[in-house]
């Protein structure tokens, strides 16, 4: 059910859950300070309670309300990348709901850049916790229609058009090590790359292998191997040659197939009836990836064959999502 921005703001203030657009993926939003509202997110998504939520705030000035410390390193990242697809994990104030923190001592914060999301945060006067608006482990939605097909037509959705980044935000934890030096760790890759973060931070990512035992890397409970999955079994191929060979063999066995190819290289004619080709640029593939997978999943074939993009830093986030989608 599509709703207006004013309706979304008023539902959120009444403690209801609504789906909202962000530039990354659609989120299932609730007032981040209302435990009963937050519990509904977990119930609707069928998400385990120990998976913390990201709190979306209207601007950088609101960080102090949520955290016990906003170190310079984190401030530099926020100033460089907000509003935008970066989530910062920082030590939480005691008042931050345990439901949001999923039992962690930290809180994840992000200022989204989507104009409708920002306007909603301002109009409602709230900060909203929002995981992706899909059932636990399923594909994230990048359009209002994806939300409705995954969560049902009765779900109130604020339609902000298709998401332009297309995959979930980069998550970075900023922490102090045993020597009281600030360091950062990438908890989830996204379209803001490790290299861009290192450049702004002025230091490389902390070496996890040599981490002091006193400074555990915050866990990211949402980082399941099986995540972002279509319903159709999905098989990944390191290159198009391997995919073409598998396509021919499976077709001989009369397995119904659909294929996702990346790049525009010329290929021998594929027997598969359903082929989606994405461009060779990582940002464009990210933008279109979930839409392509939602489409392929709706074809009701027996198997999806997906070409992995090259193992290069620019493709890290897309490869991460595809690997998880392909994990059987």
Report the interface residues with ligand TXA, using CB under 6 A. 22, 24-25, 27, 51-54, 87, 89, 101, 104, 106-108, 110, 130-132, 168-169, 171, 187-188, 218, 220-223
Stretch that binds Mg ion, among 78-86, 128-136, 187-195, 283-291 (CB under 5 A): 128-136
Size of the site for Mg ion (CB under 5 A): 1
Q: Which two tokens stand for residue 322?
A: 């595809």
Distance CA 12, CA 4 (A): 12
**What is the closest distance, in whole angstroms, from the C-beta atom of residue 88 to ligand TXA in the complex?**
10
* 34 makes contact with Mg ion (CB under 5 A): no
**What is the closest distance, in whole angstroms, from the C-beta atom of residue 240 to ligand TXA in the complex?**
30
Q: Look at residue 54 and give the partner it binds from Mg ion, ligand TXA, none, a contact being a CB closer than 5 to 8 Å depending on partner kind.
A: ligand TXA
**In this complex, which beta carbon is closest to ligand TXA, that of residue 96 or of residue 250?**
96
Q: Look at residue 24 and give the partner it binds from ligand TXA, Mg ion, none, a contact being a CB closer than 5 to 8 Å depending on partner kind.
A: ligand TXA
**What is the closest distance, in whole angstroms, from the C-beta atom of residue 81 to ligand TXA in the complex?**
12
**In this complex, which beta carbon is closest to ligand TXA, that of residue 54 or of residue 308?**
54
* 127 makes contact with Mg ion (CB under 5 A): no
**In this complex, which beta carbon is closest to ligand TXA, that of residue 24 or of residue 143?**
24
**In this complex, which beta carbon is closest to ligand TXA, that of residue 3 or of residue 261?**
3
**In this complex, which beta carbon is closest to Mg ion, that of residue 132 or of residue 272?**
132
**What is the closest distance, in whole angstroms, from the C-beta atom of residue 195 to ligand TXA in the complex?**
19
Distance of CA 142 to the CA centre of its chain: 10
* 132 makes contact with Mg ion (CB under 5 A): yes
Asked whether 226 and 325 are in contact (CB, 8 A), the reply is no
For residue 118, give Cα distances in angstroms to 44, 110, 112, 301: 24, 11, 7, 39
**What is the closest distance, in whole angstroms, from the C-beta atom of residue 203 to ligand TXA in the complex?**
20
* 138 makes contact with Mg ion (CB under 5 A): no
Other C-beta atoms lying within 10 Å of the C-beta of residue 270? 18
Closest CB to ligand TXA: residue number: 222
**What is the closest distance, in whole angstroms, from the C-beta atom of residue 138 to Mg ion in the complex?**
9
**What is the closest distance, in whole angstroms, from the C-beta atom of residue 56 to ligand TXA in the complex?**
6
**In this complex, which beta carbon is closest to ligand TXA, that of residue 83 or of residue 309?**
83
**What is the closest distance, in whole angstroms, from the C-beta atom of residue 168 to ligand TXA in the complex?**
4
Stretch that binds Mg ion, among 15-23, 26-34, 131-139, 285-293 (CB under 5 A): 131-139
Task: Give the β-pairing of 274-278 and 257-262.
Answer: parallel
Q: Which two tokens stand for residue 69?
A: 């410390």
């Amino acid at each position: 059910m599509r709703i207006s921005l004013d309706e979304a703001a008023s539902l959120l203030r009444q403690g209801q859950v609504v789906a909202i657009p962000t530039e990354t993926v659609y989120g299932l939003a609730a007032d981040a300070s209302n435990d009963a509202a937050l519990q509904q997110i977990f119930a609707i998504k069928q998400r385990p309670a120990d998976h913390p939520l990201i709190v979306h705030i209207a601007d950088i000035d609101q960080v102090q309300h949520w955290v016990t410390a906003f170190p310079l390193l984190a401030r530099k990242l926020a100033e460089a990348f907000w509003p935008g697809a970066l989530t910062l994990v920082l030590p939480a104030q005691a008042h931050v709901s345990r439901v949001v923190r999923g039992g962690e001592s930290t809180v994840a914060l992000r200022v989204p850049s989507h104009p409708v999301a920002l306007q909603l945060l301002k109009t409602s006067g709230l900060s909203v916790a929002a995981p992706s608006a899909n059932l636990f482990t399923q594909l994230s939605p990048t359009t209002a229609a994806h939300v409705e097909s995954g969560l049902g037509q009765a779900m109130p959705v604020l339609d902000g058009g298709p998401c332009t980044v297309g995959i979930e935000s980069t998550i970075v934890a900023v922490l102090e090590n045993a020597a009281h030096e600030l360091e950062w760790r990438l908890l989830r890759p996204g379209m803001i790359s490790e290299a861009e973060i290192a450049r702004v931070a002025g230091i490389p990512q902390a070496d996890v292998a040599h981490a002091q035992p006193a400074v555990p890397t915050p866990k990211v409970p949402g980082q399941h191997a099986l995540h972002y999955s279509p319903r159709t079994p999905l098989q990944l191929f390191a290159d198009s040659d391997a995919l073409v060979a598998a396509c021919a063999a499976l077709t001989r066995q009369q397995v119904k197939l659909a294929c996702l190819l990346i790049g525009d290289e010329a290929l021998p004619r594929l027997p598969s009836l359903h082929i989606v080709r994405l461009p060779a640029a990582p940002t464009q593939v990210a933008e279109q990836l979930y839409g392509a997978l939602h489409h392929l999943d709706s074809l009701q074939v027996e198997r999806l064959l997906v070409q992995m993009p090259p193992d290069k830093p620019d493709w890290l986030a897309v490869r991460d999502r595809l690997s998880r989608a392909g994990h059987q």
